Amino acid sequence: VKVSQPRADEAHPVKTISQQTLVKDVDRKEEVKLSSKPDVNLMSGNHSSPVRKPGVHKVLSLDATNSPRDPNAVGQFGQAVILPGSKDAEVMKRWDEGHFNVYLSDQIPVDRAVPDTRPESCAQSLVHDDLPSTTVIFCFVDEVWSTLLRSVHSVLNRSPPHLLKEIILVDDASTKDYLKEQLDKYMSQFPKVRIVRLKERQGLIRARLAGAAVAKGEVLTFLDSHIECNVGWLEPLLERVYLDRKKVPCPVIEVISDKDMSYMLVDNFQRGIFKWPLVFGWSPVPENVIKKNNMKDTDPIRCPVMAGGLFSIDKKYFYELGAYDPGLDVWGGENMEISFKIWMCGGEIEIIPCSRVGHIFRGQNPYKFPKDRQKTVERNLARVAEVWLDEYKDLFYGHGYQHLLDKKVINIGNLTEQIELRKRLKCKSFKWYLENVFPDMDTPVVKAEGLTTSLNKQHHKDATLTLPVLFLLIQNQQFNYTWMKNIRQQNLCIGSQNSGSGFALTLCINCNSSEPQDDSVRLRPCQPSSVFQKWEFTHYYVK
Ligand code: UD2
Ligand code: MN
C-alpha cells in the first residue's frame, strides 16, 4: 500500500493560483496559494457569484445539529441507549422489520447529533473552493421510517448546500404503506429531495442505475438508506474527485450499533480487501507500510476493493466505465465488479479518513429476495468472475463454487456486453491487478482433507504421493492448488512419474486419479463414477 501519489489531472488541470499566503496543500504535498477569502457564502448556500477565483478553504464543518432541538432526547449525540427490560418484548416484536433495534430507532430524533470522530487535523485540512456538486442517491426497499429519515437529515444537515445538488430516493418497489404518500408528503418540505419509484423490484444495482440516470450533479454519491453522515463528510470526498476524476473515494464506514443505536468510532488505517471466493473483508494496513510511507491518520488509504455501499464517483467517469453490470440482481457482488473495473481500467479506490459515515450493519437482509438468496449472490459473483478474473476465475470456482461450472445448474446470463466493454476500455489483466493493487494478498494454501494426502520426500526416494495420517503443521504435507490447476508444494508441482502410474514432484499436470490399494496414489484413466478419483478441497487457510 502506498500513499496515493498526486497525478496529472485531465479534468481539472492545475488551478490558476491567486494571491497571498503560502499554505501547504496537505493532500497534494505541494505548495499552493490560498485566496484571501473563500467566496463561499456558507449560511445562505448561495454559490452563484459569476466570477470565482479558485482557491482553497478549510473544510466546512457544517453541522446544523450542533445545538440539537432536543438535547435530552434518547440517543442524542450518538450515545448508547439501554432500554429497561420491560421493553424487551416490544424490541423483539419489531426487530425483524429491519433486523436491528427498530423500536429504539423510532425513539431517537431523526436529526440527532453525532460525535465528530474525524482525526483531529481533518478540521484544518484544505479543500478547493470550486468543488463539483453531487447528487446523493439512496436506494431502498422497505427501509424503516426513522432510519430512512435520519439518513436524509444527516445529508441535509451536514453537507454544504452549494455542493448538494439534490438527494434522490429510489424506492425499489417497497411494499410498506408508510413509504408511499406519507414519505412523499414528508419529503415535500425539502426541495432538494426527489423520489423515484420503480414499478418492479429491481435490486439495489439496477435501482442505483435508475437514480444515476436522472441525477443532475457532476458527482454521484451512493449511500445506504440506514446511515448517518458525520460532520464535514462531503467535501473531502469531492476534493479527491476534483484532484483526479478517476479517483473513487469512500468514507470511513463507522458502526451504528444494531442494538443500542450508539455511533461507534472505528480503527484508523483499515482497508477493503477480498478473500477467495470473492468475500469482502477489512484488513489493517500493515504497521511497516504505515511507517515506511510515513502515513498520517488523515492520508487517503488505497483499497483493493470497496465495501460497496458508500462512495462518490464522477458521473461521466461512472458511465465511461459502463456503470454497473445491469445483469447483477438484487444484492451482492457489485462491489467486486466496480472495484475490479475501476482499478483494472485506470482508476483508483480510496478510503478518506476525514470523511466518516455511520452505517447500521445488520445480521441479515431484512427484505425478501425474489429468488433464492444464495443462488442470487453466487450468480452475481460468477458473472463478475467470468468477466474480470481471467485465469484466476478457477480459483474462485475452486473455493466451493464448482457447481456453478455446470451451465445446466445455473444460467448466469449473457456476458457479451460486459466482455466487449472490458476490451473497449483496454483494461489491464487480473494478474496486473493482483501484482500492483493487491500484491500482499494471501495465497491460499489448500489441503486435500478427507483423503489425507501427504507428500513425503524424505521417506520416499521417488517422492511418491502417499496417504498416511495428516499432520496439519508439517510443511511437506501442505499443498497449494494454484490457479493454473496445479497442485504445488513449494517450488514443485505434482506430476506423473516417467514410468508407471505413480506421482512425483516434477511435471505439472491435472491431478485427478487415485485408488487406495496401498497408501500410494496412482494415475488411472478417468472414471467419472469412481469416488477415488474425486478430490475435494475442504480446507482453506492462509499463512
Ligand atoms: C453491503 C453494502 C451495500 C451493497 C452490498 C452488496 C455497505 C455499507 N453496504 O451490504 O451497499 O454494496 O454490500 O451488494 O457497504 N436495496 C434495494 N433493493 C434491494 C436490496 C437492497 O434498494 O433489492 C437497498 C437497501 O435498502 C439498502 C442498500 O440497497 O439501502 C444496500 O443493501 P443492504 O443495506 O442490505 O446491504 P449491506 O449493507 O448488507
Ligand atoms: Mn446497509
Q: Which of 152, 204, 335, 357 should be mutated for ligand 1, with most atoms under 8 A from CB?
A: 204
Closest residue to atom 3 of ligand 1, CA basis: 309
Are 167 and 134 a contacting pair, CB within 8 Å? no
Return the pLDDT at 530.
73
- Mean pLDDT on 527-540: 64
Return the pLDDT at 534.
67
Return the pLDDT at 504.
58
Q: For the beta carbon of residue 83, count every other beta carbon within 10 angstroms.
A: 16
The reply to whether ipTM tops 0.95 is: yes
Cβ-count burial of 123 within 10 angstroms (0-12 exposed, 13-18 middle, 19+ buried)? Answer: middle
Distance, CA 10 to ligand 1 centroid (Å)? Answer: 33
Helix (H) or strand (E) segment spanning residue 433 = helix 430-436
* Residue 51 clears pLDDT 70, i.e. is over it: no
Are 298 and 353 a contacting pair, CB within 8 Å? yes
Closest residue to atom 24 of ligand 1, CA basis: 140
Of 15-29, 210-224, 408-422, the poorest mean pLDDT is in: 15-29
Kindly tell me the sign of the dihedral angle through the C-alpha atoms of 372, 375, 381, 384: negative
Distance, CA 339 to ligand 1 centroid (Å)? Answer: 16
- Mean pLDDT on 138-159: 98
Q: Interior CA angle at 484 toward 483 and 490, to 5°?
A: 85
Q: How confident is the model at residue 514 (pLDDT cuts 50, 70, 90)?
A: very low
Residues 344-357 pLDDT 10s: 999 999 999 999 99
Residue indicated by cell numbers 505434482: 494
Eight-state DSSP code of residue 305: S
Residue indicated by cell numbers 426527489: 194
Distance, CA 331 to ligand 1 centroid (Å)? Answer: 6
Determine the Cα–Cα distance for residues 141 and 493; give it in Å rounded to an integer: 50
Distance, CA 106 to ligand 1 centroid (Å)? Answer: 21
- Pick the residue with more confidence: 449 or 165? 165
Are 362 and 257 a contacting pair, CB within 8 Å? no
Q: Which of 224, 324, 329 should be mutated for ligand 1, with most atoms under 8 A from CB?
A: 224
* Residue 32 clears pLDDT 90, i.e. is over it: no
Which amino acid is located at 519 in the chain? Answer: D
Q: How confident is the model at residue 28 (pLDDT cuts 50, 70, 90)?
A: very low
Tell me which residue of 9, 402, 536, 26 sits closest to 236, measured CA to CA.
26
Residue indicated by cell numbers 439496477: 206
* % of the chain with per-residue pLDDT over 90: 66
- Mean pLDDT on 507-530: 56
Residues 66-108 pLDDT 10s: 889 899 999 999 999 999 999 999 999 999 999 999 999 999 9
Helix (H) or strand (E) segment spanning residue 211 = helix 203-213
Residues 486-512 pLDDT 10s: 666 656 666 665 555 555 565 444 454
Residue indicated by cell numbers 487406495: 516
Task: Pull the grid cell for residue 334.
Answer: 457489485
Distance, CA 82 to ligand 2 centroid (Å)? Answer: 23
Return the pLDDT at 400.
87
Return the pLDDT at 45.
37
Q: HSE (CB half, 13 Å, CA atoms) of 386?
A: 23
Are 98 and 367 a contacting pair, CB within 8 Å? no
- Pick the residue with more confidence: 478 or 12? 478
Q: How confident is the model at residue 34 (pLDDT cuts 50, 70, 90)?
A: very low
- Give phi and psi for 413, each to the nearest 5: 85, 180
Closest residue to atom 15 of ligand 1, CA basis: 309
Return the pLDDT at 398.
85
Distance, CA 223 to ligand 1 centroid (Å)? Answer: 9
Closest residue to atom 23 of ligand 1, CA basis: 203
Residues 228-264 pLDDT 10s: 999 999 999 999 999 999 999 999 999 999 999 999 9
pLDDT, the chain, mean: 82
Phi-psi region of 413 (alpha: psi -120 to 50; beta: other; left: phi over 0): left
Atom in ligand 1 nearest the alpha carbon of residue 308: 12
Atom in ligand 1 nearest the alpha carbon of residue 201: 23
Determine the Cα–Cα distance for residues 154 and 114; give it in Å rounded to an integer: 10
Atom in ligand 1 nearest the alpha carbon of residue 226: 30
Cβ-count burial of 423 within 10 angstroms (0-12 exposed, 13-18 middle, 19+ buried)? Answer: exposed
Return the pLDDT at 7.
35
* Residue 177 clears pLDDT 80, i.e. is over it: yes
- Mean pLDDT on 406-422: 92
Are 132 and 371 a contacting pair, CB within 8 Å? no
| Helix spans in 286-399 (H) | 287-292, 315-320, 334-344, 373-388, 393-398
pTM listed for this prediction: 0.79
Determine the Cα–Cα distance for residues 318 and 212; give it in Å rounded to an integer: 9
Beta strands at 164-171 and 134-140: parallel, antiparallel or unpaired = parallel
Task: Give the residues surrounding ligand 1 with Cβ less than 6 Å away.
Answer: 139-141, 143, 172, 203-204, 207, 224-225, 253, 307-310, 330-332, 334-335, 359, 365, 367
Return the pLDDT at 450.
36
Return the pLDDT at 529.
74
Determine the Cα–Cα distance for residues 178 and 167; give it in Å rounded to an integer: 19
What's 41-64 look like in SS3?
Answer: CCCCCCCCCCCCCCCEEECCCCCC
Helix (H) or strand (E) segment spanning residue 358 = strand 348-360
Tell me which residue of 286, 288, 272 sits closest to 352, measured CA to CA.
272
